[in-house]
Amino acid sequence: MTQEEMANRLGVTTSAVNKWENSNSKPDIELLAPIAGLLDISLDTLLSFHEKLSDTEIKEIIRKMDRMYTYIKRLHSWRVKSLLFCTVYWKKFWLNSGWNNDRILLGQ
């Protein structure tokens, strides 16, 4: 079946089918069952379902999770450092500047 034939049967453009084949985009979820039907395969096969992951797939998942963990750890560290920085400078310049909370609260 050509891209044009599939596009006509699904009511989409040939360009859309081409993008799916080249992994530049994914079809709408509502089109998955009709695509599987046109190709005479199950949805599991269409979605490349595997009951057991290969060693390569497991290593790739671990690598991605490790990168995400490192990113989150750096982000958290940056947020903690920013909060600490603001707290220290607030105390240094605000509380030690001669102004105190009583004067501000009383409108003096």
Amino acid at the residue 64: K
* CA-based nearest residue to 26, from 81, 57, 103, 35: 35
pTM of the model: 0.45
DSSP, collapsed to helix, strand or coil, labels residue 7 as: helix
Tell me: the pLDDT tens digits for 39-93? Answer: 989 888 888 766 677 888 888 888 888 888 888 787 777 777 787 777 777 666 6
- Averaged over 81-106, what is the pLDDT? 64
Predicted confidence band of residue 32 (pLDDT cuts 50, 70, 90): very high
What count of other Cβ atoms lies within 10 Å of the Cβ of residue 6? 19
DSSP 3-state assignment of 24? coil
Task: Give percent helix, percent strand, percent coil of the chain, each to the nearest 5.
Answer: 70, 0, 30
Instruction: Kindly state the tokens that stand for 33.
Output: 């069952």
